[in-house]
Structure 1
């Protein structure tokens, strides 16, 4: 089986709840998506609302993957630069695949769908993302075509005394 990806789905209560469940489960499984375990849906909800506001304002777009049962199983949010000198590339945030689907190639499928979507955006020449150092994520993104272009030491504090690098990755689309 594979995931079915949709760019810019209608934001419904089911989608909202599905993303909240996904984000909570990924975070509590140790995923590097802006929170550290343990985390609740209610702690994540304000961040999801910020993403939805960005979508409503045209600053962000959502790519969502549903599994064969129709459950939200993967997401990636694109955020466009408003600075005129950086409008030729987009950020990719909150890249997640549900833990129950790990090891099935769905992460690669999500990044391939994100690349395809990125190529459809007018004027976008690259996708940029960051990932938390110390988890091997840069190797995964590298295997999907992203190039490491920088590191910021100790930029991410996951706990007192546990600072990680912020690894900057870029995927040229040309």
Structure 2
């Protein structure tokens, strides 16, 4: 079954808890979403709150993919660029598909829904993201149409002696 995507769903305890579980489960399955395993939902909570604040202030939007049972199965945060000369593109953050749903094409579905959401926003012409080198994420995003436009070697320290590249990728929407 396909996921059902919703842009800017109401933030309620069910969504909050679903995102916390998604984020911790993705991280603990070795997903490159800003943490290193092991994490708990309480470890993730402060970062989710920061995302919710950005949404409340109108600086970010949330796209959620729900599975056939109505559970949060995928998500991505789209953040407007505040720089007056760069408002024609947005940042994509914290792209996640729950491990139990990986391998079903839901990641590609999520990225297509992200592009559709961005196209619906006034003045947005491109999506920019960064990902952790060595995780395979750059190959996934490339398969979704993104192009690598920059690489900062060793800028992400996963653990002492394990530094990864910070890879910047871009998807023009034109």
TM-score tier, shorter chain, comes to: over 0.9
Distance 1:128 1:109 in 2: 18
Deviations 1:26-57 (A, max 9, x none): 00000000000000111100000000000000
Q: Tell me, yes or no, if structure 1 residue 71 matches structure 2 residue 71.
A: yes
The Cα of 1:70 is off from its aligned counterpart by: 0.7
Indicate the RMSD between aligned Cα atoms, in angstroms.
0.5
TM-score (norm 1): 0.99
Distance 1:138 1:154 in 2: 15
**Following TM superposition, where does structure 1 have runs of at least 4 consecutive aligned residues deviating by more than 6 angstroms?**
none
Distance 1:136 1:96 in 2: 14
Residue 13 of structure 1 is matched in structure 2 by: 13
- SS of the residue aligned with 1:140? helix
Distance 2:136 2:10 in 1: 34
Residue 25 of structure 2 is matched in structure 1 by: 25
TM-score (norm 2): 0.99
- SS of the residue aligned with 2:167? strand
Deviations 1:62-107 (A, max 9, x none): 0000000111000000010111011110000000000000100000
What runs of 5+ residues in structure 1 fail to find an aligned partner? none
**Number of residue pairs matched by the alignment:** 174
The Cα of 1:137 is off from its aligned counterpart by: 1.2
The Cα of 1:136 is off from its aligned counterpart by: 1.6
Distance 1:150 1:109 in 2: 25
